[in-house]
Structures are given as C-alpha cells and as structure tokens.
Amino acid sequence: MDKRRNITAILGPKGGVGKSTISANLAIALSGMGKKVVAVDLDLGASNLHAILGIKATPKSLSDFTQNRVETLDEVILRTPLGDLGIICGGDDPGIANMPYQRKVKLIQHLSSLNCDLVLLDLAPGASHNVVDFSIIAQQSLLVTTAEVPSLLNVYSFIKSAVFRRLTFFFKQKRSTQLLELLNRAMESENHSHLKTVDGFFQEACLLDPSISDSAKRMLARLRPIVVINRLRTENDIKAGEVIKKLLKEYLSIDTAVIMTIRDDDAVGKALARLRPIMIDSPDCPFCQDIRKIAFMLCRRQQELSTRACIVKYKRKHMPAALK
C-alpha cells in the first residue's frame, strides 16, 4: 500500500486558530478507534504538540534525525500511554526551520514510509516553503480557521493559491507554454476580469488546448478540501461554512469542499492548564464530540481513497486500454 495515503496535514493561514490542539486530540481520537497513529510536530521552531498531549519530557525529537544523530525517523518516535499513539516532537535546534533542502527531502521520504495506519502532520501557520513541501506529501489536508470573516478570506486565498500551484505544476509537466501564459494572466485577474474565476479561465483554456484543459479540470475535481471552522460560539458562526463554500464554488468551481465545525469550549483551556489532554480529561465535552466526528470522517475518506486506488491499480493491470 502506498504509505502516502496515510498522511493528513493540519494547516492553516494563521497561528492561534487551534491547529496543534486539533492535531493532538485527533491523534488521540484516532488511536482510540484502534488505529496506529503517529503525530508529527512540524511547526519547526515553535513546537508545542507534546505539551498538548501532556508530555513533559522530550528525550528525543526531530532534531536527532535532522542532525543525523539517528539513522531513521522511527527512532525518534516517543511512545505515549494513549493507545497506539506515537509522537515525533519538534526539534529544538535553532536552524531546524531552515534545514538544507537535501535534509528536508530525506525527512519527507522517511515521513512517507512511517509504519502506521495514520500520520498527522501539525504544520506551521501560513504557506512557507516548508509548509508547502510537507503538505504536498499529504493525501488529505485539514484547513483550520476561525469563523471571523478575515480568517475565512485567508482560507479562501490559501485554497486559491493551492489551485494555482497545482495548475502551474500540471501545465509545466505537460509543457504547455500557452496555458502557463494564460494562467499567469489569470493570476493578475484585476487586469483580466473574465479570468477572475476558474470557470472563466477554463473557458479560454479550452479554446487553446481542449485536451490538456480537460485533464486539468479533472485533476481539480479530485481536490476535496476539508475546512475546519474552530471555536464556534454562536449560531451565526455556523453560517461561516456557507460563506466559504459559496466562495469556493463561485470563484474556484470547487463544490466538493467538506466543512467541519468545532465548538469553542472552556474545557480546552482547563485541560491545558492541568497538562492533561482534553480527550482524557473531559472526553464527553463538546470539543471532544466534534473532534471524534472529524476522526470518523477522516477514516471514512481514507477508506474511500484506498478503495479508489485499488480500483485504478486493478484497471491498469487487467483491463484493455479501450475499456479504462
């Protein structure tokens, strides 16, 4: 099985929206469902995942791997008393966030081959090179935001740049200079208003190269972002999901986004102050109920992705090209 199918990235445009809290507790929820999980703190230089999991001492960390003190990433997994859950703590050496590219490639290779059912990557805020490089190996991504309009707009821009990055990569791979030029024009959409939406872009792209633009459309249709709106307080906050869905559909032609919500819950801060994971401290609180819903959804999607991959593999192997 392709191990990449196991990786879920937790990311988002802003700090302080709950990425690490969600990563830690999702990891516990998934291990409680019988999965073998490894949670990896990749907020390099600002790591706190271990503290949310209630781990005080970190005898080994990512630094031991990036500084070549150990051979494999497996050696820096800390076992926790929380079911079959291991954690890779963030490194503490000052240069870790700017590790040389070759070292990052090695880390990515080892992350992709960790021996477990699910790997959760707790990433730094924003879309720095590190975040992009690590999130690219993930099969699923949870984009975490709060319900405030500026945060929602940030998430929209975040998904928009992911769409443009994928299209750029795709057209480069297909060596289609004319579609790359069109894409560059679309990126400056203030000057080309008909290219402002992905739909507008494809209308023009189809005239230039119908075959490549059709495959690009199919590639984008497979994008199914999961947006997690955290710290919901009011009924009105729930509408935030509709806002983001509408933006994604209208401008990016994405109508497959999944919106999940997590309620604001005082129990989260209380558990943190006691240095105990909230999943253990108050397993039935609203926050934990919402986290478990996300854990179920992730498992279901992972199952779907594996089934789809098996079908594609089977077709490649056994069916004549005409029937595929």
Ligand X SMILES: Nc1ncnc2c1ncn2[C@@H]1O[C@H](COP(=O)(O)OP(=O)(O)O)[C@@H](O)[C@H]1O
The smaller minimum CB distance to ligand X, of residues 133 and 237, is found at 237
Residue nearest Mg ion, Cβ-based: 20
Largest distance between two CA atoms of the chain: 62
CB count, 10 Å around CB of 171? 22
Indicate whether 21 belongs to the interface with Mg ion (CB under 5 A): no
Q: What character string, x for contact with Mg ion (CB under 5 A) and - otherwise, covers 29-58?
A: --------------x---------------
Beta carbon nearer to ligand X, 68 or 234 = 234
Q: What angle do CA 112, 169, 252 make, to 5 degrees?
A: 100
- Residues 270-299 within binding reach of ligand X (CB under 6 A): 272, 287
- Angle between helix axes 286-318 and 19-32 (nearest 10 degrees) is 70
Q: Which window, 33-41, 60-68, 80-88, 265-273, contacts ligand X (CB under 6 A)?
A: 265-273
- Least Cβ distance, residue 4 to Mg ion (angstroms): 23
Q: Do the beta carbons of residue 47 and residue 93 sit within 8 Å?
A: no
The pairing of strands 85-88 and 78-79 is antiparallel
CB atoms within 10 A of CB 46: 12
Minimum CB separation of residue 321 from Mg ion in Å reads: 47
Token pair of 164, please? 């443009």
The minimum distance between CB 117 and ligand X, in angstroms, equals 23
If one asks whether residue 20 binds Mg ion (CB under 5 A), the answer comes out as yes
Q: Say how many residues touch Mg ion, by CB under 5 A.
A: 3
Asked if 265 interacts with ligand X (CB under 6 A), we say: yes
How many Å separate Cα 260 from the centre of its chain?
14
Is the distance from CB of 53 to CB of 22 less than 8 angstroms? no
Q: Which is nearer to ligand X, 171 or 287 (CB)?
A: 287
How far is 76 from 94, CA to CA, in rounded Å?
Answer: 18
DSSP-assigned states of every residue in 91-139:
P-STTGGG--HHHHHHHHHHHHT-SSSEEEEEEPSS--HHHHHHHTT-S
Tell which residue, 17, 9, 5, has the closest CA to residue 229: 17
The window from 13-21, 171-179, 246-254, 308-316 that contacts ligand X (CB under 6 A) reads 13-21
Stretch that binds ligand X, among 16-24, 70-78, 86-94, 307-315 (CB under 6 A): 16-24
- Using CB under 5 A as the binding rule, whether residue 23 contacts Mg ion is answered as no
- Nearest approach, Cβ of residue 125 and ligand X (Å): 6
Position 134 contacts ligand X (CB under 6 A): no
Residues within window 66-125 making contact with ligand X, judged by CB under 6 A? none
Minimum Å distance from CB 268 to Mg ion? 13
Residues 6 or more apart whose CB falls under 8 angstroms from that of 215 comprise: 170, 174
Residue 19 as a binder of ligand X (CB under 6 A): the answer is yes
- Pick one of 15, 100, 150, 210: the residue that binds ligand X (CB under 6 A): 15
Q: Is 230 in the site for ligand X (CB under 6 A)?
A: yes
CB 68 to ligand X: min, Å: 28
Q: Could you tell me whether strands 226-232 and 140-146 are parallel, antiparallel, or unpaired per DSSP bridges?
A: parallel
Contacts with Mg ion by CB under 5 A lie at 19-20, 43
Contacts with ligand X by CB under 6 A lie at 15-21, 230-231, 262, 264-265, 268-269, 272, 287
